[in-house]
Amino acid sequence: MSSSIKTTDKAPVKAMNKKKQRAVVICPGRGTYNKEELGYLQRFHSDKTEIVSLIDDFRDSQGQMKVSELDGMENYSMRTHTAGENASALIYACALSDYQAINKDEFDIVAVTGNSMGWYIALAVAGALKPKQAIKLINTMGSMMTKGVIGGQMIYPIINDEWNIEREQEHQVMQWLAQANQQRDCEVYVSINLGGYIIFGGNKAGLKALEALLPVVQDRYPMNLFNHAAFHTPLLSDVSKRAVELLPAQLFNAPEIPLIDGLGKVWQPYSCDVEQLHNYTLKTQVVEPYNFSKAIEVAIKEFAPDKLIILGPGATLGGAVAQSLISHHWLNLQSKANFIAQQKENPFILAMGLLEQRKKVVL
């Protein structure tokens, strides 16, 4: 008697369940809501009324312009939209809305990081700050200089045309930095390590002295950043002290998702010391350099993501992230040309501020 194997057209349930892609989410900093981003909330997030209303209500209680009004203005104003008290809350509203729009059935968010002010947004995204606490902290920190910006920031490249970091050039730039600080009344520091760029923060005399020493490259650098203070430098020590007085540790929780800070440290959900997280946020990173490049290195090496998702508005962080990947030969990337080819074939970086890449992320 012959036996037969019973077959079926139905695939096993496990095979039908598509494996999620591991993703690290990157939160943007202050310089990401520009003229092209005007109307970002209206275009992409007309359905996120709960988030926007909460932020608007808080701003209204402080006598400040609502983010929905800022986003809905007919014309972009450098002075209005880049002012700290407006830019911080506006970018937070856009970025948090973007995070909520990510298709969580497609992506497993394994870690969160951010650049500079993006650290505050990362705290909110990862759940270390609940919504009401997040807008209080972000708005408070963004409004610290309504009476006058302390110092300024200037950006300068240390890469060649193929986005490889030139170590000799970096060393020379640091020598010029030391030279500038030897001049009378000059204070200038490394503020942010941003892929193939260094952002300096300092007082007016310090930045002017450094600018005079740095050779002009690409007809645009060294470039002073409009309406930016000397973030992540000792010049902000008074801001740090005020922040600690206004924003107690009780505002913070342990994160729900691992957080990578500007030193490359990972804050884990089940082993996070909330007091230390508060100290890092309002003391350490306010007055010490923010190493975004190190945060990206830790993101790729410790969490091995399938994708890096950069929240909007804007997409200016894409270049800095790519330069960090190239410096570690991640995915065998050796140059700018390699990176562009990789992005066309199978993008590793998905910037939600770019429409084509956004489509790959949202529901």
Mean pLDDT of the chain: 94
Asked whether residue 28 is assigned to any structural domain, the reply reads yes
- Tokens, residue 56: 């608007």
Asked whether residue 5 is assigned to any structural domain, the reply reads no
Res 14: pLDDT: 43
Asked whether residue 10 is assigned to any structural domain, the reply reads no
Asked whether residue 135 is assigned to any structural domain, the reply reads yes
Statement to judge: residues 352 and 211 lie in one domain: no
Asked whether residue 111 is assigned to any structural domain, the reply reads yes
Task: Report how far residue 358's alpha carbon sits from residue 354's, in angstroms, rounded to the nearest whole number.
Answer: 6
Statement to judge: residues 118 and 95 lie in one domain: yes
Statement to judge: residues 86 and 35 lie in one domain: yes
What is the residue range of 54's domain? 21-147+235-358
Res 18: pLDDT: 77
Residue where one domain finishes, among candidates 193, 210, 233: 233
Task: Report how far residue 157's alpha carbon sits from residue 195's, in angstroms, rounded to the nearest whole number.
Answer: 9
Statement to judge: residues 37 and 108 lie in one domain: yes
Task: Report how far residue 360's alpha carbon sits from residue 208's, in angstroms, rounded to the nearest whole number.
Answer: 44
How sure is the predictor about 6, in pLDDT bands with cuts at 50, 70 and 90?
A: very low
Res 148: pLDDT: 86
Task: Report how far residue 300's alpha carbon sits from residue 284's, in angstroms, rounded to the nearest whole number.
Answer: 24
Asked whether residue 3 is assigned to any structural domain, the reply reads no
Written as one string, the DSSP assignment of 147-206 is T---SEEEEEE-B-TTS-B-HHHHHHHHHHHHHHHTSTT--EEEEEEETTEEEEEE-HHH
Statement to judge: residues 138 and 261 lie in one domain: yes
- Summarised one tens digit per residue, pLDDT across range 198-223 is 999 999 999 999 999 999 999 999 99
Would the pLDDT of 7 be above 70?
no
Res 4: pLDDT: 39
- Tokens, residue 125: 């995204």
Statement to judge: residues 271 and 341 lie in one domain: yes
Cα angle, residue 338 at apex, residues 18 and 161 outer, rounded to 5°: 140
Res 169: pLDDT: 97
Statement to judge: residues 102 and 130 lie in one domain: yes
**% of the chain residues with pLDDT over 90:** 92
Q: Which of 227, 232, 158, 239 is nearest to 200 (CA)?
A: 232
Res 292: pLDDT: 98
Res 17: pLDDT: 62
Statement to judge: residues 252 and 171 lie in one domain: no
- Summarised one tens digit per residue, pLDDT across range 173-183 is 999 999 999 99
Res 146: pLDDT: 83
Statement to judge: residues 113 and 182 lie in one domain: no
Statement to judge: residues 103 and 118 lie in one domain: yes
- Mean pLDDT of the 37-65 span: 95
- Summarised one tens digit per residue, pLDDT across range 283-322 is 999 999 999 999 999 999 999 999 999 999 999 999 999 9
How sure is the predictor about 231, in pLDDT bands with cuts at 50, 70 and 90?
A: very high
Answer whether 308's CB lies under 8 Å from 321's CB: yes
How sure is the predictor about 111, in pLDDT bands with cuts at 50, 70 and 90?
A: very high
The domain spanning residue 187 has which CATH number?
A: 3.30.70.250
- Summarised one tens digit per residue, pLDDT across range 73-87 is 999 999 999 999 999
Statement to judge: residues 72 and 160 lie in one domain: no
Residue where one domain finishes, among candidates 215, 233, 251: 233
What's the length of the chain? 363
- Tokens, residue 46: 């007309």
Number of structural domains (the chain) is 2
